Amino acid sequence: MEKPNFQNLRVYCLAEFLADGVWSIVCRWDCFAKDTVGKQLVRVADSVGANIAEGSARGSYQDNRRFVRIARGSLTEVQHWLRRAYNRDLLSDNDVQRVKSTVDELGPKLNAYLNSIGKARRI
């Protein structure tokens, strides 16, 4: 079976990497932290890639662009929940550096992907 096109996108692969990294961090937390901050953080981290995937399957460039904008909003929400987790001593400095580098790379890639949607390729 051939992979759907979105799985070949670098921006999608990076979103998956972020979501899996967040998951591995949250799994180590106690029940209260998982149930409050953890669930929110995992859901929104998963949402970045989910919106890229859904947008790519839509029938128009406008729909795809709309879902990428939602993915960008989710990435910003990830930053919010990471700040909450750090301020509540749920993240180590190592966790912060690992996740922050992915977030810092993903933001510009989402913007570049958004700008590329619907534009003809030049050869």
Per residue in 80-102, pLDDT tens? 999 999 999 999 999 999 999 99
Alpha-carbon distance of 40 to 77, in angstroms, equals 9
Residue 113 backbone phi and psi in degrees, to 5: -65, -45
Q: pTM surpassing 0.85?
A: yes
Would residue 123 count as lying in a domain?
A: no
Look at residue 34 and tell me if it is in a domain.
yes
Question: Which stretches in the chain have pLDDT values below 70?
Answer: 1-4, 119-123
CB 113 within 8 A of CB 11: yes
- What local confidence, expressed as pLDDT, does residue 4 receive? 62
Please tell me the total count of domains within the chain: 1
Is 99 contained in some domain? Answer: yes
pLDDT value of residue 59: 77
What is the reported pLDDT for 5?
Answer: 87
Contact 53, 6 (CB under 8 A): yes
Instruction: Tell me which residue range forms the domain holding 48.
Output: 5-116
Q: How far apart are CA 49 and CA 78, in angstroms?
A: 12
pLDDT recorded at residue 3: 56
pLDDT at position 1: 47
